[in-house]
């Protein structure tokens, strides 16, 4: 079955950096969008960034553009989220997700993704 396993979360000071990794397995991800979402306490899960598995096209939210970068390694079945200039408001559980059917309007939302990882905690101290 499909498995998405995140790693790389932790505690970092404001202004610091972290790189999250997502190991994907269980199927071929051709024509999939691989996404990162986050959920802070008391808030809804929100889209952070997505990347097309095949072509590498990237989509990101306004709140992280210029600070976070998503990438993928097709040979290793890995997806990454490089997070720089972290702020306390970036504190959340970060989830890796996979959604079929290429990019479309649904991919900005949870409902556009069939598979989810368990999440990894990122805490940014001020």
pLDDT below 50 — which residues of the chain? none
Paired residues of 12 in beta bridges: 124
Q: Do the Cβ atoms of 21 and 79 come closer than 8 Å?
A: yes
Token pair listed for 68: 């976070």
pLDDT of residue 121: 98
Distance of alpha carbon 14 from alpha carbon 79, whole angstroms: 24
10 Å CB burial of residue 69 (0-12, 13-18, 19+) is: middle
pLDDT of residue 55: 84
pLDDT of residue 117: 98
pLDDT of residue 92: 98
């Amino acid at each position: 079955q499909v498995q998405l396993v995140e790693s790389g979360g932790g505690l970092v000071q404001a202004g610091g950096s972290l790189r999250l990794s997502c190991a994907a397995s269980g199927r071929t991800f051709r024509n999939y969008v691989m996404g990162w979402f986050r959920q802070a306490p008391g808030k809804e899960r929100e889209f952070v960034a997505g990347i097309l598995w095949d072509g590498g096209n990237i989509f990101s939210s306004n709140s992280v553009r210029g600070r976070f970068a998503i990438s993928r390694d097709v040979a290793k079945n890995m997806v990454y989220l490089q997070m720089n200039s972290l702020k306390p408001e970036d504190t959340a559980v970060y989830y890796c997700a996979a959604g079929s059917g290429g990019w479309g309007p649904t991919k900005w939302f949870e409902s556009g993704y069939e598979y989810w990882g368990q999440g990894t905690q990122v805490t940014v101290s001020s």
